[in-house]
Amino acid sequence: MAAAHVPRKALSHLRFRFLLTLIAFSLNFALSDQPRAADPSTASLRETGGWIVLPDRVQPRLAPSLGAQKASCFLSYKAIIPAKRLEAGPHSSRQDWLTWEHDATRLYLPIAQAVPEVLPQAPGNLPIGHERVDLEHPLPLCYEPRDLRPIDRKWIYVKDREIKMRSEAVRYAHRMFEAAKAEKIHLRVVSGYRPAKTQRWLYLRKVEEDGLGQKIVAKPGHSEHQLGTAMDVSGLDPKTVLKPLFAETKEGVWVRENATRYGFRLTYTPENSGKTHYIPEPWHLRYIGMALEKDR
């Protein structure tokens, strides 16, 4: 068989590419339209704190437009800019620009190239079920739960891959998968905890490919996967992995009907997509905790 002659290294490279594709597709939408030129005379300025620059190296503009002249200075990753947010109007937040003054020159950067600086409030883990992360409320980039542990490999979609979640979430995920299996529903995990540095790398790669207006990959700090309580699940059929079609498979239906019994909730549904600004993701589950789930 031809596959037998593919060098092991090439195979693992292929597998890596496949994984990246899976991960990229499992990320929430964070951006929409390409940043357009904003008119500073009509736009409002919102006072904000510092913003962390995301690209390795970027030149700010001298006006709020991608076509505007570039400034002579460079910014690099992790530079903190004391910027205000130039809001072009209602419902335009994804096209906003950041602006600040440097050496008596006003500079501009698309909001797509930075995230708000969020300082950790207290060391340790965030309380499960009460964590807040969405388009307007990012996590500190350094946040990493301290009780991460691997999901049993027999439940992992891509063999030999290690996927972690927080300990309690893993415990209930295992129970859920066993219960599903008893009903001949074979669930697998495609993605779990993801640190902000992985998210940043995926984000920048996507931006490089598709431009600042890309709609697929979330900014670092803005993904529920960083909480360590979210996972993407699938059945065994590759055609429905991370696809809207998953909702119609027997595994998708089972998850929708039974996940709450194990403390998991579908966070991005057709009902709440107007509010969350995320597309429905019938494969994305977040562990809320058994206690909270019983209350609701």
Closer Cβ to Zn ion, 164 or 284, answer by number: 284
The verdict on 194 binding Zn ion (CB under 5 A) reads no
Alpha-carbon distances, residue 174 vs 150, 207, 286 (angstroms): 11, 36, 14
Closer Cβ to Zn ion, 254 or 268, answer by number: 268
DSSP E strands: which ranges in the chain? 44-46, 51-53, 57-58, 75-76, 80-81, 84-87, 97-102, 105-110, 114-116, 148-150, 164-166, 188-191, 230-234, 264-266, 284-287
The residues with which 115 forms a beta bridge, in sequence order, are 52
For residue 149 the two structure tokens come to 């542990």
The residues with which 45 forms a beta bridge, in sequence order, are 86
Q: Which stretch binds Zn ion (CB under 5 A): 14-22, 116-124, 246-254, 282-290?
A: 282-290
Q: Which stretch binds Zn ion (CB under 5 A): 119-127, 134-142, 270-278, 280-288?
A: 280-288
Q: 26-45: which residues touch Zn ion (CB under 5 A)? A: 26
The verdict on 217 binding Zn ion (CB under 5 A) reads no
Q: Which stretch binds Zn ion (CB under 5 A): 19-27, 139-147, 180-188, 262-270?
A: 19-27
Closer Cβ to Zn ion, 232 or 293, answer by number: 232
- Tell me how many residues contact Zn ion (CB under 5 A): 3
The verdict on 284 binding Zn ion (CB under 5 A) reads yes
The verdict on 232 binding Zn ion (CB under 5 A) reads yes
Burial (CB count <10 Å: 0-12, 13-18, 19+), residue 294: exposed
Closer Cβ to Zn ion, 28 or 113, answer by number: 28
Which DSSP letter does residue 156 get? B
| Structural contact between residues 132 and 143, judged by C-beta atoms closer than 8 angstroms | no
Q: How far apart are CA 111 and CA 98, in angstroms?
A: 6
The verdict on 169 binding Zn ion (CB under 5 A) reads no
Q: Which stretch binds Zn ion (CB under 5 A): 8-16, 23-31, 134-142, 261-269?
A: 23-31
In angstroms, give the least distance from the CB of 1 to Zn ion: 35
Per CB under 5 A, residues contacting Zn ion are 26, 232, 284
